[in-house]
Amino acid sequence: MTNTNLLAWIDLEMTGLNPEKHHIIEIACLVTDSDLNVVAEGPEIAISQTDDVLDLMNEWNIRQHNSSGLVEKIRSSDIGLKEAEQQSLNFFQKHIKQHQSPLCGSSVSHDRRFLIKHMPKLANHFHYRHIDVSSFKEIIKRWSPDAEEFKKESSHRAMDDIKDSVNELKFYRENFFK
């Protein structure tokens, strides 16, 4: 059953910032209602990659993804990119009709670039619009520089990052959109 007011949330972890050169190493999916209540928690998938792909990571990525345990999960994963795409698409198709929900997340336009390049079937499921939580953050930083900032608790794991993004948008709604 699908609901027209549901929001599709995605977060990706990648080996770097360039979708032409770098690869997706983790994807997580979540669906909320328009009040930002979690309706369904989708898959969180560490995507199997070769050492050559992992070698593309810079020092920050190596340190971060090793300390979070993601590199170990990638090395032990037997789920490839296409299977991760299909599992994620199957999850969203259960809840949201094609082109119905904007793609939601933090810096989600960047994630969309990777989806278009590496997971085009999944990218095509979402509306062309998106809700980018980082845009709210940037606007508030400029228009209300003395305002309290949202404190993230992220481990730079995809599902943790999505939940942080949902909570951050709730924070902005409660503090700036009354």
Between vectors from CA 39 to CA 38 and to CA 41, what angle results, nearest 5°?
75
Q: How far apart are CA 26 and CA 119, in angstroms?
A: 12
Which architecture does CATH list for 7-176?
A: 2-Layer Sandwich (3.30)
DSSP string, 75-105: HH----HHHHHHHHHHHHHHHS-TTTS-EEE
The tens digit of pLDDT for each residue in 77-89 reads 999 999 999 999 9
Question: In this model, does residue 124 exceed pLDDT 80?
Answer: yes
Active-site residue, from 21, 78, 128, 146? 128
Beta carbons of 9 and 29 less than 8 angstroms apart: yes
Across residues 6-33, what is the average pLDDT? Answer: 97
Can you tell me which residue has the tokens 């909570």?
167
Percent pLDDT > 90 in the chain is: 92
Whole-model pTM over 0.75: yes
Q: Catalytic site residue 128?
A: yes
At 3, is the pLDDT very low, low, confident or very high (cuts 50, 70, 90)?
Answer: low
Q: What's the confidence (pLDDT) of residue 151?
A: 87
